[in-house]
A = this chain, B = another copy of it.
Amino acid sequence: MKINIPESDQERIVIVGGGFGGLTLARELKKQNYQVVLIDKNNYHQFQPLFYQVAMSGLEPSSIVFPFRKAFQGEKNIFIRVTEVERVDTDQKQLHTPLGICNYDYLVLAIGADTNFFGNEEIEQKALPMKSVSEALHLRNRILTDYEIALSVTDYEKRQQLIDIVIVGGGPTGVEVAGALAEMKRYVLPKDYPQLNTDEIDIHLVEGADRLLLGMSEEAAQKAQEFLEGLDVKVQLNAMVTGFDGAYATLSDDSKITTHKLIWAAGVAGNKMPGLPDEALVKGRRLAVDRFNRVQGTQDIFAIGDIAYMEEPDYPKGHPQVAQAAMQHAKQLGKNFKRLSKGKEMEPFSYKDLGSMATIGRNRAVADLPGFKFQGAFAWLIWLFVHLFQILGAKNKVSIFLNWVWNYLTYDQSLRLIIRPKEGPADVARE
């Protein structure tokens, strides 16, 4: 069965994945002389840099995601399909999906990366990842549910398991989660749970290297650690979590930390796409691409964003797996498709580092901009505005801005709600 998309004289570009890379590319291809099919397993784009605020009850999921159909309303050459891709058949130039077979003339893989548990199955089964808005919401529900249960637990050790949290990975996500949890512990929990002794809540941040924020400057790392320790986060460097049984996390020195919740933000691996040539797969399960983002060993398949591994003279180990790189890849590839359609040669990509930032809490952030490093309240303000500016949709901007102002003034995240859509037996009826 073929997927139901109108036949067209235009060449068809199929983009798999609507993250920063896929979405940016589809927008570049609006009104160009191609038929564009955007496939994603969700019906919305997710703004990953704010997942942690969803997990920490600061923002609603709906504020940081945007429906694809709304983003492309009225665009006659863009077709959206919400489905998974099972595999690619490079000989037939086809994707296999539950909705049917989708032919392509050009295929762009913007499938991103998912949590990497480095083969530790015990951790994979019991740890909490945070690589989608659904996972962030699940984490929120877990944190809140555990505090509710903790109220009724009189055994000290058991209660510690419920209220203590270990975060693994000292990159931006780990740092931001730790900071937000520490603020929740300080400002919100004593009011919500007067029966709990919130001093008993321990927040651990465990990092394998000898410093935090490896992708950023030494100054940023130093200051982030200072900020976190000022908020009572227990930062452990040069330490790895080697096991987690749901009650205790085991560290590389065989010490144990009591916890029921292990948040895993320690690394990513590219999402899988069966059917590609073996030679394309490199370290971190990324796809090796040339300077035109073309996947090694293929002619008409491209990869952009976190999944793409491109070496260039200034970046001999590839680009960082961040939103900026994905968007830059997408913009260049969009231009190259335009050139192709006019019979011109493609132009090679060069990455331009625009800097990076991480926020730790109220008035506390660290920023490395090109030629300009700063930390503290000003960095925090810049962080807020950069993220507000980047998020898709005027309504989302307004909603996030109001939430932030509200949370800032009231010292309170008001979204401490354990809401799950009820999946009833009615779902069975679909089969």
A343 within 8 A of B: no
| A419-B69 contact, Cβ under 8 Å, with A128-B426, A426-B126 | no
Contact between B134 and A417, CB atoms less than 8 A apart = no
Contact between B69 and A426, CB atoms less than 8 A apart = no
Counting every copy of the chain, the complex holds 2
Q: Which residues from 187 to 237 on chain A have a C-beta closer than 8 Å to any C-beta of chain B? A: 191-195
| A62-B417 contact, Cβ under 8 Å, with A4-B153, A153-B4, A395-B406 | yes
A317 within 8 A of B: no
* Complex: chain B residue closest to A153, CB-CB: B4
- Which of A140-148, A250-258, A273-281, A375-383 has 4 or more CB atoms under 8 Å from chain B? A140-148
Contact between B81 and A43, CB atoms less than 8 A apart = no
Contact between A422 and B138, CB atoms less than 8 A apart = yes
Q: Which residues from 105 to 141 on chain A have a C-beta closer than 8 Å to any C-beta of chain B? A: 125-129, 132-135, 137-138, 140-141
Contact between A417 and B61, CB atoms less than 8 A apart = yes
Q: Given the complex of chains A and B, what is the CA–CA distance between A83 and B82 in angstroms?
A: 37
Interface membership of chain A positions 400-412, coded 1 if the CB is closer than 8 angstroms to chain B and 0 otherwise: 0010001000001
Most chain B beta carbons < 10 A, residue from A79, A246, A414: A414
| A421-B141 contact, Cβ under 8 Å, with A62-B415, A402-B398, A406-B395 | yes
A154 within 8 A of B: yes
A425 within 8 A of B: yes
Instruction: Give the Cβ gap from A32 to chain B, nearest Cβ, in Å.
Output: 18
Q: Given the complex of chains A and B, what is the CA–CA distance between A271 and B303 in angstroms?
A: 54
A390 within 8 A of B: no
Chain B residues with CB under 8 A of A426: 125-128, 138, 142
Chain B residues with CB under 8 A of A65: 417, 419
Chain B residues with CB under 8 A of A74: 191
Give 8 closest A-B pairs by Cβ, nearest first. Answer: A246-B429, A134-B422, A137-B421, A69-B192, A99-B152, A138-B421, A82-B148, A4-B152
Residues on A close to B: CB < 8 A? Answer: 3-4, 6, 42-44, 60-62, 65, 67, 69-70, 73-74, 76, 79, 81-82, 99-100, 125-129, 132-135, 137-138, 140-142, 144-145, 148-149, 151-154, 191-195, 246, 260, 393, 395, 398-399, 402, 406, 412, 414-430
Known: A69-B416, A70-B416, A128-B424. 17 other contacts (CB 8 A): A4-B195, A43-B148, A60-B62, A62-B419, A67-B414, A67-B417, A69-B192, A76-B194, A81-B152, A125-B426, A126-B426, A127-B426, A134-B419, A138-B421, A395-B406, A395-B414, A419-B421
